[in-house]
Each structure stands twice: as structure tokens, then as C-alpha cells.
Structure 1
Amino acid sequence: MECEELTIKVVKDIGISLRKGEQRWIRPKNTQINNANMKGRSHMAWNIKKFDDLTAAELYEILKERVNIFVVEQECPYPEIDGNDQVAYHIFNEQDGEVTAYARILPKGTTYPEAAIGRVIVKKEYRGKGLGNELMQQTMDLLVNELHETAIKLSAQDYIKHYYAAFGFKQVSDVYLEDGIPHVDMLYKNES
């Protein structure tokens, strides 16, 4: 399925998605966003783009925030640029030209037999405001309702596995160290 650009605006629990001029309504399934923390943000724009559709400025901001969080903030020197960005969907929110939240969606067969979510971030000054929940809702909505994925895998830092469990993910591995940080593999299966 080719998708050059998909912009999603969230209004309470209803998203409007546009693809190549098409408009359609998407109702989130099985998860809820706590809108009490979203005061002043009734129209949040989400961008979903393939690698070749990202502008140089968008790619720069995405990579900058990923390095700031995964390498600098978490004090974990590792090669952040891993060669998978070119095949991924990149979902992100930006305000005033800065990426505030981001996730990378990899097609099945890239890192796991299943489709995968990774590089999930919320910029430090935007945390605790419901943006991460909205990011995950939009990510899951794209994977399940648009791309029709029935199995989705992610590698979660162990301390935050309960967060992903709230979106239907179940732990499927023991705790292991990845770049010196405890992680677990988690799997979402759409049974419908």
C-alpha cells in the first residue's frame, strides 16, 4: 500500500484522515485518549510520511530528537541511524517547526516477522500532557485500520511495559539487555 502523506487531526475521539485529497473519518478502536490533559490542543495535526516524502528539515528534526532522547538523555551511545528509516512510516507531531512526538513503523519482515513500532519519543517539555497516548493511538490506528496489520511487535524498555500493555500489547520475552538497558519484547494481536 503506497501512502505519500497522511495527515490526521484529532478532535476529541474522532480523527480525520486525508490521503491524496481523500477525506474519511476514522474512529479509534479499543483505546481511549485522556483529553483532560490536552487543554488548548483540540486540533492536533499528525503527519505520517514515508522516508522519501520527508523534507530535509523534518528528517533533521526527527533524527535530532531521537539522538537527544535515546543517546544523550538516556546516556546510551549507540548507532541511532540503523538503515531502517528508508522503509518505514514516520508518524510525528510538530509545533513551531520542532518535532514534539514521534514513532517509526516498520513493515513486517524488516526487524521481526511482524510489523513493528519503534523509536517512540515525546520531547521532554511535552511529556505528561497526553501526547504519548495520542501518538500511540494514531500509530495503532494506522497499523490496524489502514495497513490492516494483525500482529505488531515492539521492544519496550522494561520500566514502561505497562504503558504498552494499555494498548493491547502482551509481554512475550524475558527481560534482556539492549544497549545496557533492560527491555522486553511485546506483541499485539488483533483477534477480530
Structure 2
Amino acid sequence: MTLNYCIKSFDELTNNELYNLLRLRSEIFVVEQNCAYLDLDNKDQKSFHLLYYVNNEFAGSTRLVPAGLSFEEISIGRVVIASSHRGLGLGVKLMEAAIEGCQQKFGNGPIRIGAQYHLSKFYQSLGFVEQGEQYDEDGIPHIEMLRA
């Protein structure tokens, strides 16, 4: 199994990469999670996008958000793995690459995420710590988490 990824600014994405990215987010966040919400939130244009591939097939992505756009700190958002590629440990690899990518693009600093609450233990295994209380986002329980 060959794993590789790239990190691109919005303007560097090809039409096909952008289409694949938005389609995957829609498949998982809107259809699979049965959550009607506006994914296109005007943050993509100011973020970097990590595209993850397995055997040259698009398998997942996340966006690296500069400080001040979603949170005061640097942030990672829209973490998604295609249903066809789950169970391979890609979530950990994707997040490790995203953390490293944030450091490369924005420098060292704390990273804040708005995590789906049921994934809290997963993010804790990557060094994130729960902050505050659970909150509802589009009908799904979330919690803010910080990696110092």
C-alpha cells in the first residue's frame, strides 16, 4: 500500500482536486452524517488543503486553517476519510500529516479543533485536550480541543 499526500493552497488546487475534495466532504458530512449544512463557508480560500492518497487514489483530506480564521489559534478542520478507505489507520496518518503541515505553513504554536465529541478519544491520542463544554453544531455534539 503506497501512501502519499500533498498540501496546497486553494489557488494551487486543480479543478479535479477541488471537485474531489468538495465531493468527499459532501458525501461524508452531508449525506452519510445526514446533516444539511453549508460546507462552503468562505474559509477554504484562506486555508491550505491536505490531500491524502492511497495507491494514487484520493482517500481523505483536511484543511489547515491559519490563526484568526476559525479560532484564535491555528486550526485543523474538515477532517475526512472516504468510507472506502476506513479501517486502514489513515485517520492517524492524516492527522499527523496535518499537524506537521500546520507547523510547516504557520510555524510552531497551539492547534485548536472543533471535534465531533464521539472522536474525542481519537484526538486525545494525538495530543489534543478537551477544552470547555460540549456544544451542538448542526445536530452533532462537538467539543473544542487544544494541542499545545
- What runs of 5+ residues in structure 2 fail to find an aligned partner? none
- Mapped pair 1:138 → 2:97: yes
Q: CA deviation at 1:109?
A: 0.5
Structure-1 separation of matches of 2:56 and 2:39: 22
Aligned to 1:158, which of 117, 127, 146? 117
Structure-1 separation of matches of 2:140 and 2:101: 29
Q: Residue 61 of structure 1 contacts residue 98 of structure 1 at CA under 8 Å; is this kept in 2?
A: no
Corresponding position of 1:107: 66
1:5-16 counterparts in 2 under 5 A?
Answer: none
Q: CA deviation at 1:96?
A: 7.2
Q: Residue 87 of structure 1 contacts residue 106 of structure 1 at CA under 8 Å; is this kept in 2?
A: yes
- Mapped pair 1:62 → 2:21: yes
Corresponding position of 2:81: 122
Q: Residue 156 of structure 1 contacts residue 184 of structure 1 at CA under 8 Å; is this kept in 2?
A: yes
Q: Using CA pairs below 8 Å that are at least 6 residues apart, which structure has the higher relative contact order?
A: 2
Q: Residue 115 of structure 1 contacts residue 149 of structure 1 at CA under 8 Å; is this kept in 2?
A: no
Structure 2-normalised TM-score? 0.94
How many residue pairs align between the two structures?
A: 148
Corresponding position of 1:188: 147
- Mapped pair 1:179 → 2:142: no
- What runs of 5+ residues in structure 1 fail to find an aligned partner? 1-40
Corresponding position of 1:6: none
Q: CA deviation at 1:84?
A: 0.4
Q: Which entry has the higher C-alpha Rg, 1 or 2?
A: 1
Q: Residue 131 of structure 2 contacts residue 145 of structure 2 at CA under 8 Å; is this kept in 1?
A: yes
Q: CA deviation at 1:144?
A: 2.9
Q: Residue 3 of structure 2 contacts residue 53 of structure 2 at CA under 8 Å; is this kept in 1?
A: no
Structure-2 separation of matches of 1:82 and 1:97: 28
Counting helix residues as a fraction of each chain, which structure ranks higher? 2
Q: Percent of pairs identical after alignment?
A: 36
Q: CA deviation at 1:178?
A: 0.4
Structure 1-normalised TM-score? 0.73
RMSD of aligned alpha carbons:
1.4
Structure-1 separation of matches of 2:99 and 2:52: 15
Q: CA deviation at 1:125?
A: 1.2
Q: Is the alpha carbon distance of 1:96 and 1:57 closer, same or farther for their aligned partners in structure 2, counting shifts above 3 Å?
A: farther
Corresponding position of 2:50: 91
